[in-house]
């Protein structure tokens, strides 16, 4: 994660093309769209996305893939490299670009999501207090301990249906 984050920060700083440039009207454009000037700034959203990808996907997958390739792959290092580069890396690059785009889009949605959440959380908490105490109490009172998880998961399905129905109205 650190290696990919550091690489993204250094690449962003050196290229300047992904660095956000502030306009007078408080909107953001890339340095290339702002006249191609190199700003020497770091695109921290990209750094975060690369670091997250490195820590959650690339690091673990790479570790286990290369362990497996060393143990079960061809004895020739050249053949192992060809298998890695021709068979494994193309799909992993596809997954990386999708992951980076999804991460950046999700981070951009944090502020609007918080605003939506704050507007609905009060009524949802009240509804939760009407539903969950009774569900948990009835489960503990009338069921055996081995059935708690199944019963509360069924309650959770009902709760999710209620929440989902409420969002659409």
Interval 100-116: pLDDT, tens: 999 999 999 999 989 88
Q: What is the pLDDT of residue 1?
A: 65
Angle between helices 148-168 and 110-142 (to 10 degrees): 140
Those residues of the chain that have pLDDT short of 70 are 1-2, 16-40, 167-169
Residue of 59, 95, 88 lying closest to 73 (CA atoms): 88
Residue tagged 């999804």 (tokens): 102
Q: pTM (2 decimals)? A: 0.58
Q: What is the pLDDT of residue 120?
A: 87
User: What is the longest distance spanned by two Cα atoms in the chain?
Assistant: 70
Residue of 104, 5, 85 lying closest to 47 (CA atoms): 5
Q: What is the pLDDT of residue 58?
A: 92
Please check whether residue 139 is in contact with residue 80, taking contact to mean a CB–CB distance below 8 angstroms.
no
Q: What is the pLDDT of residue 167?
A: 63
Residues 6 or more apart whose Cβ sits within 8 Å of residue 47: 5, 8, 9, 12
Q: What is the pLDDT of residue 119?
A: 87
Q: What is the pLDDT of residue 9?
A: 75
């Amino acid at each position: 994660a650190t290696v990919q984050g550091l690489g993204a920060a250094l690449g962003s700083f050196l290229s300047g093309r992904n660095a956000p440039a502030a306009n007078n009207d408080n909107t953001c454009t890339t340095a290339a769209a702002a006249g191609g000037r190199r700003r020497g700034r770091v695109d921290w959203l990209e750094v975060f996305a690369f670091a997250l990808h490195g820590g959650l996907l690339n690091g673990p997958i790479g570790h286990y893939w290369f362990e497996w390739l060393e143990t079960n792959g061809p004895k020739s290092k050249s053949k192992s490299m060809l298998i890695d580069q021709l068979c494994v890396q193309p799909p992993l690059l596809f997954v990386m670009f999708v992951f980076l785009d999804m991460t950046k889009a999700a981070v951009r949605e944090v502020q609007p999501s918080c605003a939506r959440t704050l507007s609905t959380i009060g009524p949802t908490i009240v509804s939760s207090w009407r539903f969950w105490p009774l569900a948990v109490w009835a489960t503990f009172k009338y069921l055996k301990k081995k059935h708690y998880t199944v019963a509360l998961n069924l309650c959770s399905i009902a709760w999710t249906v209620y929440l989902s129905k409420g969002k659409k109205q």
